[in-house]
Amino acid sequence: MGVLNVTPDSFSDGGSFIAPDAAIARAVELRSQGADLIDVGGESTRPGAARVDPALEQSRIMPVIEAMVERGIPVSVDTMNSVTARVAAKAGVRVINDVSGGLADPQMYRTIAQLGVRYIASHWRGHSDTMDDLTSYDNVVTDVRNALKGRIAEMLVWGVAPEQIVIDPGLGFAKTARHNWALLGALGELESLGYPVLIGASRKRFLAPFAPDDAPASERDFATAVVTALVAERGVWGVRVHDVASTVTALDVWSSMRAGGARG
């Protein structure tokens, strides 16, 4: 998944693609670099970010989504709002990526069940302005697994089909660097729930130690690509990244090594 933030305040590229023409050009570029899916978001979820009204969110993303669908570019929408999910699905979006896992909008599961779209549900404890105060866990792997298991059970009750569901441990959302590494090191625990797993590590704060001091978030792309190759080896469903080119290279190297091993 290639990230396309149509926002003025996202943590790594806020404002770069707020104009529809710039966003559409970026989508075409990400697709040409090898992205299977472009994840379009109109509300920043960086630490401390304020909520955005769904009408403003839609005014940012819908011209871009409509142009992408017209060009045949596969699109997902990054939203916590069921009304935005419904509008996007009507325009041709087939994947809804909800960082709140349905907790931000009580109508989300009903909406997803009605739409029949793929739904990515992340582990989440609170909105961006409070999440850094919600990082206390007894055991982060067990707690996140149990929380996602509960989300899945509720989705099924609302009529969401099992084949619609993808889960995401929510790296960086109410989690410290130590928590993020623990979750990456225990992917098998999450996969044991029986659902595909998405990993969104790209450019997040826990990768900052692998870049020069005070470097921009884009300097974390190399570390992101390494994480991508490692989680690919674990068999995850997908990765969500800002820099598609470096990720594709990492996956090509990983794929070549696997093919070489098979031939050997």
CATH of the domain at 135: 3.20.20.20
User: Do 155 and 121 contact (CB within 8 A), yes or no?
Assistant: yes
Q: How far apart are CA 250 and CA 161, in angstroms?
A: 33
Task: Evaluate whether residue 262 is within a structural domain.
Answer: no
The predicted-structure confidence for 73-124, as pLDDT tens digits, reads as follows 999 999 999 999 999 999 999 999 999 999 999 999 999 999 999 999 999 9
**Set 145, 203, 204, 220: catalytic member:** 204
Residue 96: what residue type?
I
Task: Evaluate whether residue 152 is within a structural domain.
Answer: yes
pLDDT the model gives residue 138? 96
Task: Evaluate whether residue 121 is within a structural domain.
Answer: yes
Task: Evaluate whether residue 261 is within a structural domain.
Answer: no
Written in H, E and C, the secondary structure of 234-249 is CCCCEECECCHHHHHH
User: Do 148 and 170 contact (CB within 8 A), yes or no?
Assistant: no
**Set 145, 240, 258, 263: catalytic member:** 240
CA atoms within 13 A of residue 90's CA, in its CB half-sphere: 9
pLDDT the model gives residue 136? 96
The two structure tokens encoding residue 33? 């670099």
pTM as predicted: 0.93
The stretches in the chain having pLDDT less than 70 are 9-16, 264
Q: Is 204 a catalytic residue?
A: yes
Q: How far apart are CA 1 and CA 26, in angstroms?
A: 13
**Domain limits for position 72:** 2-256
Task: Evaluate whether residue 165 is within a structural domain.
Answer: yes
pLDDT the model gives residue 163? 98
The helix, strand and coil proportions of the chain, stated in percent and rounded to the nearest 5, come to: 50, 10, 40
User: Do 7 and 18 contact (CB within 8 A), yes or no?
Assistant: yes
Q: Is 240 a catalytic residue?
A: yes
Q: How far apart are CA 159 and CA 26, in angstroms?
A: 36
pLDDT the model gives residue 207? 97
Q: How many domains does the chain have?
A: 1
pLDDT the model gives residue 97? 98
Task: Evaluate whether residue 205 is within a structural domain.
Answer: yes
Task: Evaluate whether residue 209 is within a structural domain.
Answer: yes
Task: Evaluate whether residue 143 is within a structural domain.
Answer: yes
